[in-house]
Amino acid sequence: MDKIRNVIVSLSLILSATYVKAQSEIPFSSSGMQLVAKRLIKTGEVIWGFEFLPDGNILLTHRKGELKLFSPKDQIVRTIRGLPPVYAQGQGGLLDIRLHPKYKENGWIYVSYSVQDNNDKSSTRLARFRLKNLRINDFQILFTAEPFVQSRIHFGSRILFDAQNFLYLSVGERNERHLAQKLDNHVGKILRLTDTGKPAPENPFPSKQYPRAKAEIWTYGHRNPQGLAIQTKTQKIFEQEHGPQGGDEINILKKGANYGWPIVTFGKEYVTGFSIGEGTSKQGIEQPIQYYAPSIAPCGLEIYEGNHLKPWRGHVFSGALALMHLNHIELNAKNEVIKEERLLVGKGFRIRNVKEGPDEYLYFSTDNGDLYQIKLIQHQRK
C-alpha cells in the first residue's frame, strides 16, 4: 500500500510540473549599455502578470485562469491548485498579481481577475490568498467593481501598493464610455483601497460631500488602464492606458483628478477615424505626460530604480502589444519626457507586463507565454 501511495504522489508531482528550457538570447544596446534579453521560460499561454517571491521563485498568471509557480533554479513550472473559476473570455481572465508589502510577515498574495454574473455580465474582482504546498489557502474576495457590464473588454486590473500599504486597482470603462465620467460607479477609474479592500482614508470623494460617489475612487476619466507604477523618491503614481485608435497615454495621478475619457482624447474612432469628444484638451482635465499616435497598445508599466542597469535609473518602461516592442522613456527632473526609445523591435513580442526584479534586472512577459530577463553584458566604450 505504501508503494502504491508513493507512486501516486510521484505521478501527481510529475503531472503538476512542467520542465522548461530557456533557448533564446537577444543582444541589443541602450543608454550606452550592451544588453541581452534572455528567455527564462516559454509556457505557451498569455502571462498577464508575474511576481517575485522571496525564495527566488516567480508566480505567473495565465490569462486563461491558471496560476503557475516557476522555479528558475530547476527550470520547472508547477501548477498552483485551488483558484476559483474566472471569466476567461475576450480580454478577461486571471490578470494581475502582487505581494503585500509585508508579505514576509503576513503571507498575503493579491490577484485581480474577471468574473461573470448570472445575466451574462462581467466585472473586475480583487482577492487575496496565502500559498502553502502549491495550494491556495485563506482565499478572500476583497472587492468587486460595480456595475457588472455586458462586455468582454477593458477590465483594467493592474494592482499597486504605495509606501503606506494602500492598494491601487485600475478598472477599465468596459466599453461603456459615459460611465468613466460618472462618480456613481467604479469603471474607468483608479481605485484606492485598504489592504482589506475597503475605501482608503482621505480618498477625494467622501460620502458626506458626494453622496452618490463611490468612496473607493482616486481618479476618473480613464479608458483601459493596464499599467501602474510608483516613483519611489516622490511617491508619485504613474498610470498608463490604452486609447482607441491613437491616444494611448502615460499620466501622473493626482488625487481626485479627471483624465478626460471620453471628453478629451488624442485618439480617433475605429473604422471612421472621426474625432472623439471635444478635442485634445479642456480646462479642468489633466494632460498626459506622454501620448502615442499611432497607438502602441501599452501594457505593464515600470519605473526602473536599480543599480545593475544604472543608466536606466528613473526611466519608464512599458510593453507595446500593437507595435511589438519594449517602450523606454527618459524623464527630466520635472517628470517631462525628454526621450523615447523603442527596444527589441522586430522580435514579434507582444509584451504584456514589465517589472524590475529583486536582483535589479528588468523582466518582461509576453502573450506567447515567454518570460525574459534583461541583463547587462558590458558598458559600451566611448
* Residue 7 confidence (pLDDT) above 50: no
Please say whether the beta carbons of 112 and 95 come within 8 A.
yes
Per the residue annotation, which of 62, 100, 154, 308 is the catalytic one? 154
Give the model confidence (pLDDT) of 245-281 as tens digits.
Answer: 999 999 999 999 999 999 999 999 999 999 999 999 9
CATH class, range 81-287: mainly beta
Please say whether the beta carbons of 141 and 110 come within 8 A.
no
Residue 243: pLDDT band (50, 70, 90) is: very high
Q: Is 308 a catalytic residue?
A: no
What DSSP character marks residue 150? S
Residues near 324 by beta carbon (within 8 Å), at least 6 away in sequence = 345, 346, 347, 348, 349, 350, 351
The domains of the chain are located at 29-78+296-382, 81-287
* Residue 171 confidence (pLDDT) above 60: yes
Mean pLDDT of 26-54: 98
Q: Can you give the C-alpha Rg of the chain in angstroms?
A: 21
Give the model confidence (pLDDT) of 286-342 as tens digits.
Answer: 999 999 999 999 999 999 999 999 999 999 999 999 999 999 999 999 999 999 999
Integer Cα distance of 4 and 1 in angstroms? 5
323 closest CA partner among 302, 342, 301, 303: 342
Residue 9: pLDDT band (50, 70, 90) is: very low
